[in-house]
A and B are shown apart, each in its own frame.
Chain A
Amino acid sequence: MSIFNFFRAAPRASAVQAKERLQIVMAHERAGRSGPDYLPMLQQELLAVIAKYVNIDENKVEVKLDRGGDCSTLEVNIELPAREQAKAAAATKAAEKPAGNDVGAVKRPAGGAVGNAGKKRI
């Protein structure tokens, strides 16, 4: 689709989109106004737990929040260095897990992500 089509075909009035976007973002802002902003703390605590088992590079942590109309997703991506997998496996063993048990997150390949999606209803 060419850029011209994109503009010409725009089926929905921009004002309608403005209203929808405002309703979504403001529902969240109003809900968050009463309580403290918990995201930074949540991120820190999550990292502290993961760091107990794996060496993580704080620059390779990505926290994403997608505010939706009905539900929001919180996504925490942590890149694990390749050699950390071995160590992580050892940690799993130390915790006396049966060998071969799938501890999902730590078993992902290097550069993979530890996905953590939480859903919050508004």
Chain B
Amino acid sequence: MSKIIVMTSGKGGVGKTTSSAAFATGLALRGFKTVVIDFDVGLRNLDLVMGCERRVVFDFINVINGEAKLNQALIKDKRIENLYILPTSQTRDKDALTREGVEKVLNELSKEFDYILCDSPAGIERGALMSLYFADHAIIVTNPEVSSVRDSDRILGVLNSRSRRAEQGLEPVTQQLLLTRYDPERVEKGEMLKVDDVLEILAIPLLGVIPESQAVLRASNVGMPVILDEVSNAGLAYSDAVGRFLGEDIEHRFVTPQKKGLFSRLLRRSA
């Protein structure tokens, strides 16, 4: 039985796509057959972050509409065994995502994959609702910033009332917090919400803290999931988060300012 994960946030630009790419890659690196699906219909971006934009022929919506077979639309990652991408359409709109259509595709993927990761669009409309509806696990991507925290709380409300699990009275969708773009130095200056503040407000378990890092932009420039940048803090933090998701007990790193010794200053480029 495959597990369905949704990467969601309510707010846009907080790091859902970055995290989806990293997470899917991390799961595949650990040997799980994983597919990551772009639910942001009309604004395809996951393909760029995953570096497979030139290989897109058919997409998720084509499969829903029966215009292409699932295995024609699935793109196999060139670097990592077990990793597949299902890109979305740039030309259709979100109405193309019918619940029956999405369910049909997810059912077919379930037969083959260990993990199905859904990269949600921003907002709480159709695309976002469809991406979370069938989820077993939700990873709530949040920035330490007031509007992001509030929107995350709204999404938690939606998960608890409008997901399949909620509607059918099943075991609730598990919810974990992924706090991204965290800047320990600003936190220390009192300019940014602390991890503990956000945890206290949202009251869900912490999956990981991803530091604000220049490596994220560098990775997206070249179409490489940042988790593959093994010398970057962000990459390591994603790796830890994947481990924790799989039940490993891993201490949180990069939550306090790093000491600026000569060595780390020399290495700052890779921070």
Contacts and interface: CB of A to CB of B under 8 A. Distances in A.
B153 A14 contact: no
Contacts of B261: none
Contact of B191 (A13, A19, A23): A13
Given A13-B191, A14-B190, A26 B157 contact: no
A75 B192 CA distance: 34
Contacts of A16: 190
A21 B201 contact: no
B146 A21 contact: yes
A22 interface: yes
Nearest to B190: A13
B191 A22 contact: no
A18 to B, nearest CB: 5
Contact of A30 (B146, B157, B191, B192): B157
B193 A18 contact: yes
A3 interface: no
Given A13-B190, A18-B146, A29 B197 contact: no
A15 interface: yes
B197 A19 contact: yes
Contact of A22 (B189, B192, B201): B201
Interface string A73-99: 000000000000000000000000000
B193 A26 contact: no
A13 to B, nearest CB: 3
A25 interface: yes
Contact of B150 (A13, A14, A22): A22
B192 A23 contact: no
A22 to B, nearest CB: 5
A15 B153 contact: no
Interface residues of B, number: 17
Nearest to B154: A29
Contact of A15 (B154, B191, B200, B201): B191
B126 interface: no
B138 interface: no
B190 A26 contact: no
A25 B150 contact: yes
A15 B149 contact: no
Contacts of A30: 153, 157
Contacts of B96: none
Contacts of A22: 146, 149-150, 201
Nearest to B186: A15
Nearest to A16: B190
Interface string B184-205: 0001011111100100110000
A33 B157 contact: yes
Interface string B142-169: 0001100110011001000000000000
Interface in A19-48: 19, 21-23, 25-26, 29-30, 33
Interface string B124-139: 0000000000000000
Interface of A: 13-16, 18-19, 21-23, 25-26, 29-30, 33
5 A-B pairs with the lowest CB-CB distances in the bound complex, closest first: A13-B190, A19-B197, A15-B190, A18-B146, A33-B157
